[in-house]
């Protein structure tokens, strides 16, 4: 396809998807692709944070897509067991120019068998969960994103925007990718091998730190999420704790982080061996393998909404 051709991007959503996993990359692709949210059925799909995204089409009625994007989120714990979703990905991936995942969305691709024998990465805190779901994947522990043929997988949440710019660079040129970054006032980390969050690999203890500062009894939608594959809300590379009026106060709870609460330190103990071993409502994120990732590509974006 011509570098200047406008693509059609299918954003595959499911209940409990992570907002930034989805809308960060979509913002970057705005001037280059028709953005089409797709789900099992057309209609609103609630995110992990509460706000819903409207799927314009269902799997059965979806048009052909040049690009596919699979976000992560606490809902991936169900998405990896959704036969319709997995079959949709298996059927559509071969015809797509690029298939992307953000964060624990890589676990969904892995569960569909699409990453077998390929290199991939995912959110660092729940890396072992994704490794368990994709034992034949060559998981790269230290990478902002990884490119392997038509598959491009990113690390956690914000990394999806860096990945999206790299994909734009791949088919539209680096100059346009840099223009996108400038127009969105985003500092593009264009080195896929530079992963500042690698130090949090397997650090599921971070979830307990989030629980300390959660407001017990807050029943807002943003607080009704459990610690998933990556979760949402307050974040230190991972998920969050379900909070409701029935929950007991967390140990040391003061309603806010106290002055003694510094950045996470020390080793977080052994990572979860799989879904059942992860903290309550855990979600997929991946594991280890040959380090690295391909270069970021050459891309950039022209002024928004110009042909």
- Phi, psi of 67, rounded to the nearest 5 degrees: -130, 145
Radius of gyration of the chain (CA): 18
Q: Residue 96: CB partners within 8 Å, gap ≥ 6?
A: 65, 66, 67, 68, 150
Q: Residue 266's pLDDT is what?
A: 37
234/220 Cα distance (integer angstroms): 14
Residue 277 has pLDDT above 80, yes or no: no
| HSE value, Cβ hemisphere, 13 Å, CA-based, for 148 | 21
More confident residue, 59 or 280: 59
CB burial of 255-269 (b: ≥16 within 10 Å; e: otherwise) equals eeeeeeeeeeeeebe
Whose CA is closest to 288, among 205, 198, 210?
Answer: 198
Sign of CA dihedral 282, 288, 291, 296: negative
pLDDT band at 195 (very low <50, low <70, confident <90, very high): very high
- Contact in structure between 299 and 174 (CB atoms under 8 Å): yes
DSSP 3-state of 85? helix
73/71 Cα distance (integer angstroms): 7
Q: Residue 94's pLDDT is what?
A: 97
> Which tokens go with 24?
């960060």
In order of start, what are the domains of the chain with their CATH numbers? 7-197+288-300 (3.40.50.880)
Q: Residue 4's pLDDT is what?
A: 76
Q: Residue 215's pLDDT is what?
A: 47
112/122 Cα distance (integer angstroms): 16
> Which tokens go with 278?
């992860």
Least confident range of 43-57, 151-165, 208-222 = 208-222
Beta strands in the chain (DSSP E): 7-12, 33-39, 43-46, 52-55, 57-58, 67-70, 98-101, 119-120, 138-139, 145-148, 151-154, 300
DSSP 3-state of 153? strand
Q: Residue 204's pLDDT is what?
A: 86
Task: Residue count of the chain, please give it.
Answer: 307
Active site (catalytic) residues: 103
Burial class from Cβ neighbours inside 10 Å (0-12, 13-18, 19+) for residue 270 reads: exposed
More confident residue, 26 or 260: 26
More confident residue, 208 or 148: 148
**CA angle, 178 as apex, 174 and 184 as ends, to 5°?**
150
- Contact in structure between 18 and 48 (CB atoms under 8 Å): yes
Whose CA is closest to 300, among 194, 186, 191, 170?
Answer: 170
Place of tokens 């596919």: 68
Q: Residue 300's pLDDT is what?
A: 40
pLDDT band at 213 (very low <50, low <70, confident <90, very high): low
> Which tokens go with 218?
């807050």
36/13 Cα distance (integer angstroms): 10
Residue 257 has pLDDT above 50, yes or no: no
């Amino acid at each position: 396809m011509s570098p200047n051709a406008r693509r059609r991007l299918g954003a595959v959503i499911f209940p409990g998807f992570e907002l930034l996993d989805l809308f960060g990359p979509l913002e970057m692709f705005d001037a280059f692709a028709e953005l089409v949210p797709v789900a099992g059925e057309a209609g609103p799909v609630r995110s992990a944070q509460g706000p819903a995204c409207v799927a314009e089409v269902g799997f059965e009625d979806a048009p052909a897509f040049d690009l596919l994007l699979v976000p992560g989120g606490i809902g991936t714990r169900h998405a990896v067991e959704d036969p319709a979703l997995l079959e949709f990905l298996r059927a559509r991936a071969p015809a797509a120019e690029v298939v992307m995942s953000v964060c624990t969305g890589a676990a969904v691709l892995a569960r569909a068998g699409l990453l077998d024998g390929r290199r991939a990465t995912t959110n660092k805190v729940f890396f072992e969960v994704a490794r368990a779901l994709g034992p034949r994947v060559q998981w790269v522990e230290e990478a902002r994103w990884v490119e392997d043929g038509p598959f491009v997988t990113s690390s956690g949440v914000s990394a999806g925007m860096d990945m999206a710019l790299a994909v734009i660079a791949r088919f539209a040129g680096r100059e346009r990718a840099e223009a996108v970054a400038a127009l969105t006032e985003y500092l593009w980390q264009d080195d896929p091998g530079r992963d500042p969050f690698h130090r949090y690999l397997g650090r599921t203890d971070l979830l307990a730190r989030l629980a300390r500062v959660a407001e017990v009894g807050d029943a807002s939608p943003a607080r009704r999420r459990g610690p998933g594959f990556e979760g949402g809300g307050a974040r230190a590379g991972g998920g969050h704790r379900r909070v409701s009026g029935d929950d007991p106060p967390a140990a040391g709870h003061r309603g806010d982080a106290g002055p003694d609460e510094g950045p996470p330190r020390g080793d977080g103990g052994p990572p979860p061996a799989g879904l059942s071993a992860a903290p309550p409502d855990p979600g997929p994120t991946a594991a280890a393998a040959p380090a690295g990732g391909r270069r970021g590509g050459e891309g950039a974006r022209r002024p928004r909404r110009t042909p």
